[in-house]
Amino acid sequence: MRPIKTFAVVLSIAALAATAAAAQEASLTVAFAGVKAHKGKMMGVLFDSQAAYDGKGEAVRAFAVAADGATIEERLPGLKPGRYAIRVFHDLDGDGKMGLNPFGVPTEPFAFSNDAKGMMGPASWDAAAFEVKAGDNVQTIHID
Amino acid sequence: MDRRSFLNLGAAAGAGLAAAAWFDPDRVYAQATAPWTLGLADVEDDVAPHKLRRLHGRLPAGLEGALYRNGPAKFRRPGRSVGHWFDGDGMVRAWTLAGGEATLAARFVDTPKRRIETSAKACVMPGFGTKAAPGSQLEGPDDSNAANTSVIRVGDALWALWEGGSPAALDPVSLETKGFAVLRQDLKSMPFSAHPRREASGRLWNFGWWRDQVVVWRLSPQGALEDARIVKLPRASYIHDFTATDRHLIFVLQPWVQERMAMPFNSGFAWRPEQGTQVVVIDKADLDKRRVFELPPFFFFHLGDAWAEADGTIRFDACIDPDPSFAVTGAAKLLSGEASGGPAPRLALVTLGADGKARLEQTSDAAEFPRNDPRYAGLAGNMTVHTVIEPGRPLSRGIATRDWRGGKAQAFDFGLDHLVEEFVFAPRPGGSAAFDGWLVGTTLNLKAKASELHVFDARRVADGPVCSLRAEAALPVSFHGNFVRG
């Protein structure tokens, strides 16, 4: 009986550990709403720190999602729970770059997580940051 | 107890020095009583189309069309007011003349700024002379676009113009806002000034200003974009208006220069009279070909049409101030009922000689809002109509015409009971001589507390209006507009 009992204990510990690992996994679905021009792509970048968001570090993920469908969303699996922020622009002409007019003002729509608004520049990390919890998360961004 | 002693008591009762200065009883008293403050009152609602009441005379046969005008009409909200006359919400007015009758309709331009401020119940957006407040959002220049400076007809649309952003397109009948016009996707949000110049052919030239650069716009008579080019200028001067001959674009670079990007916008400028005024003349056919002239320092908002003479001399008129004090403080103080008391702008003639020398001749006429006969735009032989300012009281009280070839100047004084707005020329069908037609414009009658439409024979201004009509609404003083023939 003894080895069996031990085996059972080991199994249950393994199961617990597996559950704990799953609990630490998060996924984020970024959904776009209010889209007027159903063409081109939504070009998004996900950040997990203020420094990275402000251009002083690496992004966690970058994604491009076609903007021609009725539903426009991107699922980002395998994230750690924590605080994140997203910058996104609508690449209407599909050239992969955010269009700027000759005086440097964006000509393609852009947005931030939390639908945060900028003031003579991008929205701040504090305004755009949101919590990603273990399991599935959804962040809806209005753009266009 | 009267109002004055109440306020004095309040100060004496320990409200403190700062409060006493803020609550200057004379200022509050002036605000409550000065009749001209009706010219800067708030309008709450759009004005439904209604027939005007005829005061005297008859509308001339052949004068059919609409005078479209634009100007700020909402300055104050419970949480906060704008800090400057130029930052109120644009309201487009349509004065329509048809079949001997006239009607007025007016509608606010539905801008992002107006939406944000209506919901915030406070004027939070930054502007020409207004600081941003919490709740403002500025992701592009059109977020603070007041669409309040002029209105033109382009193709099938009306464009409400501001100077720092895109034209706001409106339906010419309902005056409903359709949204900001995008002339070309890669030029979205580029500034399109409130002072385009239309050639006699109908072709439209305009500029959009950004520091020491301008975008030069060229549109076909039907409103299609023909060309847009970036032109670098010698300095980052404040440019509200430019002028043109049939062959040249003329930028007058006054020594009010932008030294930093700041909010409010006008706080980033410095007056540098030691730098003088530069005039840059650019060939329409080759925007890289230019000449630069030097003039003494002056400030201006508005220029008249320019023309070139046979020997190459170029001339144009301008309404000039000794310094930018009206743009910085004078137009801000008006909103609190305070007359700046500064000198009025004077009509002047600028001559750019073929020898490269420039000359400024200043008249003693207190003048603003110069306009000309559009059939002679950029050509010799044009005439000018301008408003006449009452020195010591803000805003205008009359109009006058000027023929720079030596014809007799004519003037009409509406008197102190009127605030007089810009008048524009409308040609007589079949006529061709300069100013063969009518001058059409509006006043705010302070005694009747109502806006009025007046029509003059353009060559007989001293005789007074041939017809005057009165609206049911009292609309605040507007800036610019244009007559569109029916």
Minimum-distance CB partner of A101 among B136, B138, B186: B186
Counting residues of chain B whose pLDDT is more than 90, the rounded percentage is 88
Report helix, strand or coil for B203.
coil
CB B247 within 8 A of CB B285: yes
Which pLDDT band holds residue B343 (cuts at 50, 70, 90)? confident
Residues with Cβ < 8 Å from B34, sequence gap 6 or more?
Answer: B337, B339
Which chain B positions have a beta carbon within 8 Å of A99's beta carbon? 185-186, 188
Give the model confidence (pLDDT) of B176-219 as tens digits: 999 999 999 999 999 999 999 999 999 999 999 999 999 999 99
A65/B contact by beta carbon, under 8 A: no
Structure tokens at A82: 């924590």
Cβ distance of A117 and B137 shorter than 8 Å: yes
Residue B21 has pLDDT above 50, yes or no: no
Give the model confidence (pLDDT) of B241-276 as tens digits: 999 999 999 999 999 999 998 889 999 999 999 999
Minimum-distance CB partner of A119 among B136, B210, B215: B136
Cβ distance of B189 and A93 shorter than 8 Å: no
Q: For chain B, which domains are there?
A: 1-33 (no CATH), 34-485 (2.130.10.10)
Nearest Cα of chain B lies from the Cα of A132 at a distance, in angstroms, of 26
Residues with Cβ < 8 Å from B12, sequence gap 6 or more?
Answer: none
Burial (CB count <10 Å: 0-12, 13-18, 19+), residue B27: middle
Residue B1 has pLDDT above 80, yes or no: no
B31 compared with B13, residue with greater pLDDT: B31
Which pLDDT band holds residue B81 (cuts at 50, 70, 90)? very high
Q: Which of B124, B125, B139 to mutate to test the interface with A (most CBs of A within 10 A)?
A: B139
Q: Which of A87, A89, A93, A107 to mutate to test the interface with B (most CBs of B within 10 A)?
A: A107
pLDDT (0 to 100) of residue B28 = 44
pLDDT (0 to 100) of residue A14 = 52
The pLDDT of B446-475, averaged and rounded, is 98
Which chain A positions have a beta carbon within 8 Å of B139's beta carbon? 110, 117-118
CB B280 within 8 A of CB B301: no
Residue B24 has pLDDT above 90, yes or no: no
Low-confidence ranges of chain A (pLDDT < 50): 1
Q: Which of A13-17, B17-21, B454-458 has the highest mean predicted lDDT (pLDDT)? A: B454-458
Average per-residue pLDDT in chain B? Answer: 92
B460/A contact by beta carbon, under 8 A: no
Interface ipTM? 0.87
Nearest Cα of chain B lies from the Cα of A104 at a distance, in angstroms, of 9
CB B176 within 8 A of CB B107: yes
Which chain A positions have a beta carbon within 8 Å of B186's beta carbon? 99, 101, 107
Structure tokens at B87: 């930052």
pLDDT (0 to 100) of residue B419 = 97
B287/A contact by beta carbon, under 8 A: no
pLDDT (0 to 100) of residue B400 = 98
Q: What is the DSSP string of B280-339?
A: EEEESS-TT-EEEEEE---EEEEEEEEEE-TTS-EEEEEEEESSTHIIIIIHHHGGGT--
Count of positions (residues) in chain A? 144
Residue B439 has pLDDT above 70, yes or no: yes
pLDDT (0 to 100) of residue B11 = 32
pLDDT (0 to 100) of residue B9 = 30
Cβ distance of B215 and A103 shorter than 8 Å: yes
pLDDT (0 to 100) of residue B80 = 97
Task: Please give the Cα distance from A28 to B22 (Å, whole number).
Answer: 54
B264/A contact by beta carbon, under 8 A: no
Q: For chain A, which domains are there?
A: 26-142 (2.60.40.10)
Which chain B positions have a beta carbon within 8 Å of A117's beta carbon? 137, 139
Q: Which H/E stretch holds residue B208?
A: strand B204-210
Which pLDDT band holds residue B6 (cuts at 50, 70, 90)? very low
CB A83 within 8 A of CB B118: no
CB B314 within 8 A of CB B357: no
Q: Which H/E stretch holds residue B115?
A: helix B112-120
Give the model confidence (pLDDT) of B283-330 as tens digits: 999 999 999 999 999 999 999 999 999 999 999 999 999 999 999 999
B225/A contact by beta carbon, under 8 A: no
pLDDT (0 to 100) of residue A69 = 86
B134/A contact by beta carbon, under 8 A: no
CB B343 within 8 A of CB B391: yes
pLDDT (0 to 100) of residue A5 = 55
Residue B448 has pLDDT above 80, yes or no: yes
C-alpha to C-alpha distances, A111 to A86, A100, A115, B369, nearest whole angstrom: 8, 15, 7, 42
Residues with Cβ < 8 Å from B195, sequence gap 6 or more?
Answer: B150, B163, B206, B240, B241, B242, B302, B480
CB A102 within 8 A of CB A65: no
Residue B59 has pLDDT above 80, yes or no: yes
Q: Which H/E stretch holds residue B437?
A: strand B437-445
Cβ distance of A118 and B137 shorter than 8 Å: yes
Buried b (16+ CB within 10 A) or exposed e, B313-337: ebbbbbbbbebbbbbbbbbbbbbeb
Asked if the peptide bond before residue B112 counts as cis, ω within 30 degrees of 0, the response is no
Residue in chain A lying closest to B231 (CA): A102
Question: Which A-chain residues 35-54 have CB contacts (< 8 A) with chain B?
Answer: none
Question: Which B-chain residues 42-101 have CB contacts (< 8 A) with chain A?
Answer: none
B147/A contact by beta carbon, under 8 A: no
Residue in chain A lying closest to B230 (CA): A102
Cβ distance of B138 and A118 shorter than 8 Å: yes
Residues with Cβ < 8 Å from A104, sequence gap 6 or more?
Answer: none
Task: Please give the Cα distance from B421 to B368 (Å, whole number).
Answer: 9
C-alpha to C-alpha distances, B388 to A58, B14, B40, B317, B369, nearest whole angstrom: 63, 46, 19, 15, 9
Task: Please give the Cα distance from B312 to B327 (Å, whole number).
Answer: 34
